[in-house]
């Protein structure tokens, strides 16, 4: 039985272009060329194609497949195991991606369910209460009632979109912090970028930004175990690292 490109292509469920490509890269050449220049494939080529498609389904690159079917002594098993490692890595990365996308969606969803005005107001009020309960005393002690009242007012004044952005920014601070900690250098560019992100996050609820207040908060991140726990939960040593980065960022470390 002999096949032209399209016949073989239909048999195997691929396109004729693919067969021409396989010819071009030398992984599957036709048995012969007809007098009119047509590619003619025979049984041996059908078998070879089956092998190629089999490995292709396993996700191996054509280059790799070429090695495997051209070299009888090729260590197929090792190639497969290496390939599996790559696939597992890919999946781990994908899992991370999906988790991050989920987080981001959750934040956005939060802003959507808040479209209901009542709920939205209630949610923010709760957040302000929590905020006050948790950090109120320290901030009040350091910067007075005026600042925290302003901060709460600002929080109340945010619309859903702004609020979502604020939470997203919070997530980005965490993400950025993780990478920065990995560098180990709080004066490095990544750490300083993180400090800047943190500043951007702050000014959503602070009506006036000052280096001193920023630096003061940084100190508190380490001194107060509730703050420290929050950042250290995300990344070991996160609170101290963030403090150092902010002190350098605000120039208050000299």
Partner DNA sequence: TATAAACCTTTACGCAACGTCAAGGTCAAT
Partner DNA sequence: ATTGACCTTGACGTTGCGTAAAGGTTTATA
Query: How many residues touch DNA (CB under 7 A)?
Result: 21
- Find out whether 185 and 249 touch, Cβ atoms under 8 Å: no
User: Rule CB under 8 A: is residue 94 a binding residue for a second copy?
Assistant: yes
In the bound complex, what is the minimum distance in angstroms from residue 195's beta carbon to a second copy?
12
Residues near 94 by beta carbon (within 8 Å), at least 6 away in sequence: none
Virtual CA dihedral for 185, 190, 191, 193, nearest 10 degrees? 160
Binding test (CB under 7 A) with DNA, winner from 1, 57, 63, 73: 63
Write the CA distances from 110 to 85, 167, 202, integer angstroms: 37, 10, 20
How many helices (H) and strands (E) in the chain?
12, 2
Query: How many residues touch a second copy (CB under 8 A)?
Result: 43
In the bound complex, what is the minimum distance in angstroms from residue 166's beta carbon to a second copy?
14
d(CA 240, CA 168): 22
**DSSP E strands: which ranges in 161-231?**
none
Q: Could you tell which of a second copy, DNA, none binds residue 35, using a CB distance below 5 to 8 A set by kind?
A: DNA
d(CA 218, CA 234): 16
Binding test (CB under 7 A) with DNA, winner from 1, 13, 37, 118: 37
User: Rule CB under 8 A: is residue 119 a binding residue for a second copy?
Assistant: no
User: Which residues form the interface with a second copy (CB under 8 A)?
Assistant: 10-13, 46-47, 50, 54, 57-59, 76-77, 80-81, 83-84, 87-88, 90-91, 94-95, 97-98, 100-102, 104-105, 108-109, 112, 168, 172, 175, 179, 189-190, 193, 196-197, 200
User: Which residues form the interface with DNA (CB under 7 A)?
Assistant: 4-7, 14-18, 20-21, 34-39, 56, 61-63
């Amino acid at each position: 039985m002999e096949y032209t490109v399209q016949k073989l292509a239909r048999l195997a469920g691929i396109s004729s272009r693919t067969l021409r490509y396989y010819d071009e890269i030398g992984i599957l050449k036709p048995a012969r060329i007809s007098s009119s220049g047509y590619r003619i494939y025979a049984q041996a080529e059908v078998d070879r194609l089956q092998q190629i498609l089999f490995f292709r389904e396993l996700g191996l690159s054509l280059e790799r497949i070429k090695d495997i079917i051209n070299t009888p002594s090729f260590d197929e098993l090792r190639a497969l195991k290496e390939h599996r490692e790559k696939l597992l890595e890919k999946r781990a990365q994908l899992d991370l991606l999906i988790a991050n996308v989920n987080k981001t969606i959750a934040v956005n969803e939060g802003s959507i369910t808040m479209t209901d005005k009542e709920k939205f107001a209630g949610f923010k009020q709760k957040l302000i209460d929590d905020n006050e309960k948790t950090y109120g005393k320290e901030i009040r002690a350091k910067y007075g009632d005026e600042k925290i009242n302003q901060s709460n007012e600002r929080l109340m004044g945010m619309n859903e979109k702004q609020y979502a952005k604020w939470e997203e920014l919070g997530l980005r601070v965490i993400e950025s912090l993780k990478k920065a900690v990995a560098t180990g250098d709080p004066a490095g560019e990544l750490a300083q970028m993180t400090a800047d992100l943190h500043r951007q996050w702050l000014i959503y609820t602070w009506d006036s930004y000052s280096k001193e207040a920023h630096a003061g908060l940084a100190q508190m991140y380490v001194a107060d175990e509730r703050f420290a726990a929050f950042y250290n939960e995300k990344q070991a040593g996160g609170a101290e690292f963030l403090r150092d980065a902010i002190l350098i960022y605000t120039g208050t470390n000299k």
